[in-house]
Amino acid sequence: MLQNNPLLAQLKQQIRETTPRAEGVIKATDKGFGFLETDDGQSYFVPPPAMKLVVHGDRVQAVIHENGDKTSVEPDTLVEAGLTRFISRVQKREGRLAVVPDHPSIKNVLKARIKNSLDEASIGDGDWVVSRLVRHPLKPEDRAFFAQIDELVAKADDPAVPWRVTLARHALEQECPDAGSDWPLLDEGLERKDLTTEPFFTIDSEKTRDMDDALRIEPRPEGGWRLTVAIADPTAYVEEGHATDLEARTRAFTVYLPGQNVTMLPEQLADDLCSLWEGKERPVLACILEVEADGSLGDYRFFAATARSHAKLAYDTVSDWLEEQGDWTPAAEIAPQLKALRDMTEARSAWRAEHALVFKDRPDFVFELDRAGNVLNVRTEQRRIANRMIEESMIAANACCADLLADKVGHGIFNVHRAFEPEKAEAAHEFLTAQEIEVELEALSELPRYKELKRALESRDDAWLDARLRRFQGFTSMSARPGPHFGLGLAAYATWTSPIRKYGDMVNHRLIKRVLKGEQAPAEATLALTEQLTERRRLNRMAERDVKDWLYVRYLTPAAKAQEAFEAEIIAINRGGMRVRLTANGATAFVPAPMIHSDRDKVAIDDKEGRIQVEGEERYKLGDVIRVELVEAREETRSLVARPGA
């Protein structure tokens, strides 16, 4: 046949090799046309007819067409599909089935079929489903887009849609694991010290059920403090390799969403047998830390124990009492400990500020929901003294864990954070130099010198500078080998204080127990495991952000209709406008360039510098706090639109 003619195939190949071409990713617009963005920063116009052959996110090769002074491209080869597995809504019209991808930049209506194992009658118009693209017009033998519905996520009227759709989007589990109720303590060959008469206490949010840390503190006669940290011990129940352990390994973390938690361990363990409930004896892994009067850490000792919390305390209640507010008074055996813990916290904070690094306090925004999932309020929770007391205690305990594992084992699950990604360090150095900040390139990758730089930058209190530097900074990753944590200013950091909710902490518990028993440690964690832990943490954070965005849109719809004004911080600037965070409730909104000035040509946006000029004068920059008015709440894209206020 003609299409199999080798001479024709050779001719087509010659034409391809001599025709100007480009490869890049498709960026769609809501006006029908799009752009092909290449890896080297080039942007080519894709006309509406050609956009019918692609979707936003497709990586394609395209033919470049020159027409006078206008250049456009025509995609002809699919390199990688932008859509593979995706969330969509069902569209049923006159017996025809289609799906619409749930994506702000994809408006395509895709013909679809339902997976054989699903009941077609159970899936109706508007339902949320997991779909998979099975045909693409740029694939050989395919002439059009076609999708398959693989899973029903939620009915259109399900009040749990924001949670179910978000979890499904990120391929996260919808429910807590269930593994029965018979959980005897394992015989681990460990001697457990009896601490049940010691007045340990917990401090958490009032509604917390999975309490995994309890504290005991005593001032030392020679000055300083002796802090005992008792941590819940799920590995006392869950044997390595057990089905529950393997499930926890897969989940990696408990997912915390507004109004819903999806636990890593079965609730029977997470919220009951392992949780350090007041008055309940629990197996724990403990550490005694000697804290010097100046806040530096001295000796430490890990051991297995049985402990009993004598008080379940809440952050705000403890903070109020320490600040001499409210009527609550702690028990006589707890009160002096809270004051000692406060004093130790202030000493540790001062020591870390001088010798390590301290994060700036940011408030938490807590959603108050009714049973149907409607947002009643968004409450601001400041980082008060009781929050800092627990934070400082956990940082100290985790620093000791990192030291123990590095010294006695040589590996574990470490949190490693580089200040700047290697490929961005040079650009960061150039940026700092342009700001007349003299620093050697090597200082960006050496912890002691970086700490000096960071403290110098913080003394400037320059919000624009902080925001611009974040473009170059790296992310925290999980590593089997010790490495520096630049964010904390520590040479190594390994968490063991949240084993109910973090699988990496369970791994570290088992390694600590090996050390206590004098046993040889197993092989270090595989790269596959550490990468999975890093990726699952990223997905969890994205899921939390996505649910919050959805709830914010619902909560602020009345405010948008009333065009209510808010104070907001500029957190990002791109070619299309600026993104702001409302300081009253933490919601983010986008201010499009046309909202900044009615004449778009009078708005000059420098996204690299993070500055916006209006009519030739600088009006906005990253870090600025401005007034904005909400003008639109779009639930279909979970986005808020604002304009600059008066």
Q: Which segments of 163-211 are extended strands (E)?
A: 193-194, 200-204
Q: Which residue has the tokens 């968004």?
A: 378
DSSP assignment of 462-496: -HHHHHHHTTTB--EEEESS---BTTTTBS-----
Please work out, in degrees rounded to the nearest 5, the angle formed at the alpha carbon of residue 326 by the alpha carbons of 323 and 327.
Answer: 125
What would the two tokens of residue 568 be?
Answer: 């907001």
Question: How many CB atoms neighbour CB 226 within 10 A?
Answer: 17
Parallel, antiparallel, or unpaired for β 225-232 and 213-219?
antiparallel
Find how far residue 38's CA is from the centre of its chain: 28
* Whole-number Å distance between alpha carbons of 382 and 361: 8
Under 8 Å between Cβ of 255 and 521:
no
Residues noted as catalytic: 204, 210, 212-213, 315, 501
Under DSSP, is residue 547 helix (H, G, I), strand (E, B) or coil? Answer: helix
Question: Which residues on adjacent β-strands are paired with residue 256?
Answer: 261
- DSSP code for 526: P
Residues whose CB is less than 8 angstroms from the CB of residue 405 and which lie 6 or more positions away in sequence, other chains included: 411, 412, 414, 482, 494, 508, 511, 512
Parallel, antiparallel, or unpaired for β 603-606 and 414-417?
unpaired
Q: Which residue has the tokens 């629990």?
A: 282
Q: Pick from 454, 468, 384: which is nearest to 417 by CA?
A: 454
* Whole-number Å distance between alpha carbons of 269 and 287: 22
- DSSP code for 241: T
Under 8 Å between Cβ of 124 and 88:
no
Under 8 Å between Cβ of 286 and 513:
no
Parallel, antiparallel, or unpaired for β 128-135 and 110-114?
unpaired
* Whole-number Å distance between alpha carbons of 500 and 523: 23
* Whole-number Å distance between alpha carbons of 205 and 258: 14
Q: Which residue has the tokens 């919390």?
A: 309
What would the two tokens of residue 450 be?
Answer: 């970086």
Under 8 Å between Cβ of 233 and 282:
yes
Torsion of CA 286, 290, 291, 293, to 10 degrees: 150
Under 8 Å between Cβ of 639 and 590:
yes
